[in-house]
Amino acid sequence: EVQLVESGGGLVQPGGSLRLSCAASGFSLSPYWMSWVRQAPGKGLEWVANIKQDGSEKYYVDSVKGRFTISRDNAKNSLYLQINSLRVEDTAVYYCARGIPGEDAFDIWGQGTMVTVSS
Amino acid sequence: DIQVTQSPSSLSASIGDRVSITCRASQSPSSFLNWYQQKPGKAPKLLIYGASSLQTGVPSRFSGSGSGTDFTLTISSLQPEDFATYYCQQSFIGWTFGQGTKVEIK
C-alpha cells in the first residue's frame, strides 16, 4: 500500500524545536517533489515547504523562512522538517504530501502529526 | 504568490443536488489549479488536478472547469459521502490554498 506516515509532533514551549519525520512506504520517494502542509485547529490548509527530488531546491512560505528546514533522505525513503524558534501560531497538524510530477498537485498525504506550541 | 479566494465559504445542499464551488485567483495560474476534499479529522484528498483532470479513483460526478482567473468545482449529484470541506489550490507561482468551502446537509 502506498502511504506516508508522519511522526515527531508533540507539545513544545515557545522558542523550542522539533524534528518531524515522514516515512514513505509502497513507493520510492526519489522521483517526487515532496511538501509539508499544515492546518491550524479549525482553520484551512497552508503550504509550508517543499523540496526537489535530489534536495537541490527548497522553498518555504514566508512565515517560516529562517526557522524551518526541509530535508530528505532518499536512501531511507524519508522526508523531514526541522522546526526551530517555534511560535504559538505554528500550532497545527503537519502533513507531508507527495507531488504529482509536472502538476504540483499533492496526490498522496500522510495522516498528519500534531504540533502544539504552548507555555 | 498568487492568492486564491473561494466562494461561498459554506453552503447547504440536499442529496442529489448539483453543487458548484468557485475559486478566483489574483492572477492566472495557467492550468495549475487543483481541488481537494477534506473530511473532519482526515487528511485532504486530491479530486481534480490541472483544472479539469479527474484524479484516479475519484467518482465522475466530480468535475473541474475554468480558465484565466476563474475556476469551478462541480458535483453533479451530491451524495451522502460528499459532505465535507473543499479547497482549491494554485501551484503555478508558489503554492496557495483557498480558505475552504464547507458543504453541509440541508
pLDDT band of B30, cuts 50, 70, 90: very high
Q: In this complex, is the C-beta atom of B43 within 8 Å of any C-beta atom belonging to chain A?
A: yes
Mean pLDDT for chain B? 97
**Residue closest to B52 by CA, chosen among B35, B76, B28, B70:** B35
Give the SS3 label for residue A75. helix
How many beta-carbon pairs below 8 A join chains A and B? 59
- 3-state SS, B4-47, equals EEEECCEEEECCCCCEEEEEEECCCCCCCEEEEEECCCCCCEEE
**Residue closest to B47 by CA, chosen among A101, A102, A32, A107:** A107
C-beta atoms of B100 and A103 within 8 A: no
- 3-state SS, A19-60, equals EEEEEEECCCCCCCCEEEEEECCCCCEEEEEEECCCCCCEEE
pLDDT band of A116, cuts 50, 70, 90: very high
Q: Say which residues have a Cβ less than 8 Å from residue A68's Cβ, sequence separation at least 6.
A: A48, A49, A60, A81, A82, A83, A84
Instruction: Return the DSSP state at A100.
Output: P
C-beta atoms of B96 and A47 within 8 A: yes
pLDDT score of B1 more than 90: no
pLDDT band of A17, cuts 50, 70, 90: very high
The amino acid sitting at A4 is: L
Whole-angstrom distance, CA of residue B23 vs CA of residue B73: 8
**Residue closest to B51 by CA, chosen among B26, B77, B27, B29:** B29
Q: In this complex, is the C-beta atom of A52 within 8 Å of any C-beta atom belonging to chain B?
A: no
Quick one: what percent of chain B has pLDDT higher than 70? 100
**Residue closest to A47 by CA, chosen among B23, B69, B89, B24:** B89
Question: Which pLDDT value is given to residue A103?
Answer: 80
Tens digit of each residue's pLDDT (9 = 90 or more) over A46-105 = 999 999 999 999 999 999 999 999 999 999 999 999 999 999 999 999 999 999 988 889
Q: Which residue among A44, A95, A105 places its CB closest to the CB of B34?
A: A105
Question: Which pLDDT value is given to residue A101?
Answer: 86
Tens digit of each residue's pLDDT (9 = 90 or more) over B55-97 = 999 999 999 999 999 999 999 999 999 999 999 999 999 899 9
